[in-house]
């Protein structure tokens, strides 16, 4: 299960930035951190790598988000191989 730590650069337009945050909050796989000016930390936990990539592309398509930087990627190891 991929977990990504992202740093978003939001629009300096507060209205657009708020719309972007609201859209992200509507996604169950996303958790917003404490914003610092136009920078918004974000944690995303998806079911697989493909879903993580799709979420990243979705973020990049949102009005109010200027840039998406990946600052952490982690993979939870499965215990399916244990007896």
pLDDT at 79 over 70: no
Residue with the two structure tokens 């920078």: 39
Report the alpha-carbon distance of residue 64 to residue 81 in Å, rounded: 43
pLDDT at 82 over 80: no
pTM value > 0.95? no
Q: What is the pLDDT of residues 25-67, one digit of tens each?
A: 999 999 999 999 999 999 999 999 899 999 999 999 999 999 9
**2-75 belongs to which CATH class?**
alpha beta
Q: How many CA atoms lie within 13 A of 75 on its CB side?
A: 7
Q: What is the DSSP letter of 83?
A: -
Report the alpha-carbon distance of residue 50 to residue 77 in Å, rounded: 16
Report the alpha-carbon distance of residue 58 to residue 73 in Å, rounded: 18
Can you give the residue ranges of every domain in the chain?
A: 2-75
Question: How confident is the model at residue 34, as a pLDDT?
Answer: 96
Q: What is the DSSP letter of 33?
A: -
Report the alpha-carbon distance of residue 55 to residue 45 in Å, rounded: 10
């Amino acid at each position: 299960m991929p977990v990504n730590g992202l740093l978003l650069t939001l629009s300096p337009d507060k209205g657009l930035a708020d719309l972007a945050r609201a859209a992200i909050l509507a996604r169950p796989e996303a958790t917003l951190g404490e914003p610092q000016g136009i920078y918004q930390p974000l944690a995303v936990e998806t079911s697989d790598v493909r879903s993580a990539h799709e979420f990243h592309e979705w973020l990049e398509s949102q009005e109010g988000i200027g840039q998406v930087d990946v600052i952490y990627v982690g993979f939870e190891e499965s215990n399916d191989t244990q007896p």
